[in-house]
Amino acid sequence: MTQQSSEQRSAIPGNIRCLCGACSITVADNQAQCYLRCGCDDCRQFAEYAHSKGGVAPVSLPRHFYFKSDILSTEGKEHIKVLKLRANGASTRLCCKKCYSVLAVDHPAYWGNVFLALPDYCNHDCDLTRPLSAYIYMGEFDADEDSKWEPYVPLFESFRFRRQRMQYNLLPDRIPWRDSFRPKGMRLSALIKQLDKVEILSLNKTKRSISDLEGQIENMNRELRSVKNQLILMREIVDKSELEKSKAQSKLISLSEKLLHYKQKFGDITSS
């Protein structure tokens, strides 16, 4: 494909709409700029929340496609709600009030130049013919041995270290995210300001990262040691009780033998 044909193709508008058809957004550029797959807890938690409200079932490793943040029009604004998992959450999601489809996601790391669309949770007519750039946040993903991942695709367990963040930002499809442009319509951030006030779900953050799991394992081991110590103590108490019971039985037998001896020697003794 020549550069000219690529530019012509990127100029075609695209539509992203909810599954029930109540709302949609039209973007100026229907061609995805980047394709990632994400294993983070937040994506999974919101998908589970949306499913509990009647949305589609969660996808274990959702597809993330990023488009230029240039929205030409919005249909059914009254049916769109703006949600965040927590007050300090980074991601802001546009969601259908009726079917809980996710139309778009904004995040500070997108620099206002792109937004995230999740085709697993909405309908669209956009061009998703983009090679997978990376797997991200895989330290929070419970993978089984039969997971079929694309070979030679970079995989990031987390972004705790500066080197990981640098390598991620140097991905060819990530570099253009910082390139500012003049939109034909409006950026997603501007649309969010036009919509309802952001609703904070205040969901507890799940802890499934490797470091968190290690902490949970240590806590479980600590509790296990405590239970073992309690069992040892209970056994000692039981053993002591058995010993006292045995002593009492021996004493009772001894008294019974003495009573029998007295009966044989003096006859039956009754009170007068």
Of the chain, the percentage scoring pLDDT greater than 90 comes to 64
Residue 3 within a domain: no
> From CA 82, how far away is CA 101, in angstroms rounded?
12
CATH of the domain at 54: 2.170.150.70
pLDDT of residue 5: 42
Q: 142-181: buried (b, 16+ CB within 10 Å) or exposed (e) per residue?
A: eeeeeeeeeeeeeebbbbeeeeeeeebeeeebbeebeeee
In terms of Cβ atoms closer than 10 Å to its own Cβ (0-12, 13-18, 19+), residue 54 is exposed
Confidence of residue 246 (pLDDT cuts 50, 70, 90): confident
Confidence of residue 149 (pLDDT cuts 50, 70, 90): confident
Cβ neighbors of 185 (< 8 A, separation 6 or more) are 28, 70, 71, 72, 73
Q: What is the mean pLDDT of residues 77-95?
A: 96
Of the chain, the percentage scoring pLDDT greater than 70 comes to 72
Q: What is the mean pLDDT of residues 226-243?
A: 65
Residue 1 within a domain: no
> From CA 140, how far away is CA 236, in angstroms rounded?
43
Closest Cα partner for 69 from 178, 228, 218?
178
Each residue's pLDDT tens digit, 3-30: 444 444 557 999 999 999 999 999 999 9
**142/213 same-domain check:** no
SS3 133: coil
Answer whether 83's CB lies under 8 Å from 199's CB.
yes
How many other C-beta atoms can be found within 10 angstroms of the C-beta atom of residue 271?
3
pLDDT of residue 185: 97
**202/219 same-domain check:** no
**192/258 same-domain check:** no
Cβ neighbors of 210 (< 8 A, separation 6 or more) are 139, 157, 158
Confidence of residue 142 (pLDDT cuts 50, 70, 90): confident
Residue 4 within a domain: no
Closest Cα partner for 74 from 191, 218, 168?
191
**51/34 same-domain check:** yes
**Which of the two residues, 36 and 205, has the higher pLDDT score?**
36
**80/159 same-domain check:** yes
**163/39 same-domain check:** yes
Range of the domain at 117: 10-206
